[in-house]
Amino acid sequence: MEEHPSLQRAREIRDRAQAREVQDLLSYWIAIHPGDRIPARAAFDPMQIPRLLPNLVLTDVERDPYRFRVRLMGTGIVEAMGGDFTGRYLDEVWPGAGNQPLVRDRVEVAETGLPNYRYGRSPTPFKLDFAALERAFLPFAANGTDVDVILSVIVYMRPPPET
């Protein structure tokens, strides 16, 4: 059995990530990964990682054209964004989102089946004033190949206190 390339990418991201929440979600995703294909959403049990729930977002993937509907939005993300967008499409919440990493990077995950990582300032406006965010997008595929759900972990980093 040949290892799916998403496993290697997830390990690389986990080893590079700074936030414990990102590292822990990647470790969990790697643990439920079947090895030779993309894990199914059914393999994901949020009760195994309750501490991470505030930082998670699940988005459904629609194709032709790509659209992403928020299935679940953790309370930490709701607070940072200033609203709960569960049930809404990203392009409804942020007009022009197709040109931003929050959509472009999800399209990449849907097309490649590989996790995606970003650290830095967000071009997407949000309620709270943070210096940077760290996040990873992880694919799920019911049939093992075609990404139909993307699991995101997002951690908003506060700037260091001024001395």
Residue of 21, 17, 75, 25 lying closest to 46 (CA atoms): 25
CATH of 5-157, one of 3.30.70.20, 2.102.10.10, 3.40.50.9100, 3.30.450.20: 3.30.450.20
Distances (CA, A) of 5 to 33, 38, 78, 147, 149: 11, 9, 32, 14, 18
163, pLDDT greater than 80: no
The pTM of the full predicted model, rounded to 2 decimals, is 0.90
pLDDT at 80 over 90: no
pLDDT for the residue 17: 95
pLDDT of residue 103: 87
Residue 149 host element (H or E)? strand 149-157
What per-residue confidence (pLDDT) applies to 87? 96
Buried b (16+ CB within 10 A) or exposed e, 6-27: bbebbeebbeebebebbbbbbe
Per-residue pLDDT, 160: 52
Summarize pLDDT for 9-68 with one digit per residue, the tens: 999 999 999 999 999 999 999 999 999 999 999 999 999 999 999 999 999 999 999 999
Q: Which residue has the tokens 């997830």?
A: 10
The residue that leads in pLDDT, 158 or 54, is 54
Domain ranges of the chain: 5-157
Task: Please report the pLDDT score of residue 126 as a whole number.
Answer: 55
Q: Which class for 122: exposed (0-12), middle (13-18), buried (19 or more C-beta within 10 A)?
A: middle
- Contact at 8 Å (CB) between 48 and 29? no
pLDDT at 123: 59
Cβ atoms of 61 and 149 within 8 Å: the answer is: yes
Per-residue pLDDT of 89-125, as tens digits, reads 988 887 776 677 788 999 999 999 999 999 876 655 5
